[in-house]
Amino acid sequence: MKCEENFVPLPSMYQKTNLTLNIMADKTPTPHIGAKYGEIAPTVIMAGDPLRAKLMAERYLENPVLYNQVRGMLGYTGMYKGKRISVQGHGMGIPSIGIYSYELFNFYDVKTIIRVGSAGSMHPDLHIGDLVMAMGACTNSAYAMQFHLPGIYAPIADFDLLRSAVEKAEELGYNYKVGNVYSSDTFYDDSPDTDQWQKMGVLAVEMEAPALYMNAARSGARALCICTISDSLITGEVTTAEERQNSFTKMMDVAFGII
């Protein structure tokens, strides 16, 4: 990922010195996030749609403060059950969440990001409103090439977050499945091959998880992607944009419930 010429590489999140933190503070606000260092909580719940972030701030946070509206990508910090939490939009696609999560991890000292988003079902038992916990993320993206790895990297969720999310979903009685998602760079695909991914047991298709998981791994941080089924590639079920924005709250209940 390209940065300013005077960018100083950062060590693992858990090895930062005071000098490093000063460097981070000097780099904020970033080109994409208008917050100053310290205005964003260590835990951030992200959504592709910035209006979903606004909904989360209004629904879950006490005294939310708007810290970002650059490019309309709303971000808020407030209190949830005594804990300081931020919510932030990340836009659509791997490049977009790649930028926002990178800046949060590396310039704002964020230690945990949970993405809540929509996904298309590729499994006959996953229907509109059901949850998918992305244990791993297959992809057609070349995002991992920047790391110059001598093989194919498998982006995975943080296990403790994943386990907690499963326990919370069961406690709340929500329908869910855990497994692989397929994260595509293309929404309109000239040569769709979803049946090939179905054969490998992939549960659903979305567009962001691998970049989030890779940035978390590279930064020594934690990440999890929880998706709500918004449509089905099998049955043809669909939802409206308004339903996706306002009614997919089960994944939010789980995300806030595990922090």
Domain CATH code at residue 162: 3.40.50.1580
| Active-site pick, 49, 109, 231, 253 | 231
Q: How many domains does the chain have?
A: 1
Q: pTM (2 decimals)?
A: 0.89
Domain assignment of residue 44, yes or no: yes
What's the pLDDT at 5? 38
Domain assignment of residue 4, yes or no: no
Q: Which residue has the higher pLDDT, 25 or 250?
A: 250
Domain extent, residue 46, equals: 13-257
Lowest mean pLDDT among 42-56, 113-127, 237-251: 237-251
DSSP structural state of residue 156: B
Domain assignment of residue 5, yes or no: no
Lowest mean pLDDT among 12-26, 94-108, 114-128, 214-228: 12-26
DSSP structural state of residue 70: G
What is the mean pLDDT of the segment spanning 189-207?
A: 92
Q: Which amino acid is at 88?
A: Q
What's the pLDDT at 171? 98
Domain assignment of residue 1, yes or no: no
Domain assignment of residue 8, yes or no: no
Q: How confident is the model at residue 241 (pLDDT cuts 50, 70, 90)?
A: confident
Q: Which residue has the higher pLDDT, 98 or 14?
A: 98
Q: Which residue has the higher pLDDT, 238 or 119?
A: 119
Active site residue 231: yes
What's the pLDDT at 15? 47
Q: What is the pLDDT of residues 114-156, one digit of tens each?
A: 999 999 999 999 999 999 999 999 999 999 999 999 999 999 9
Report the chain's terminal Cα–Cα distance, integer Å.
29
Domain assignment of residue 115, yes or no: yes
Domain assignment of residue 7, yes or no: no
Q: How far apart are the C-alpha atoms of 136 and 255, rounded to whole Å? A: 17
Helices 50-60, 250-257: axis angle to 10 degrees equals: 60
Q: How far apart are the C-alpha atoms of 196 and 109, rounded to whole Å? A: 39
Domain assignment of residue 213, yes or no: yes
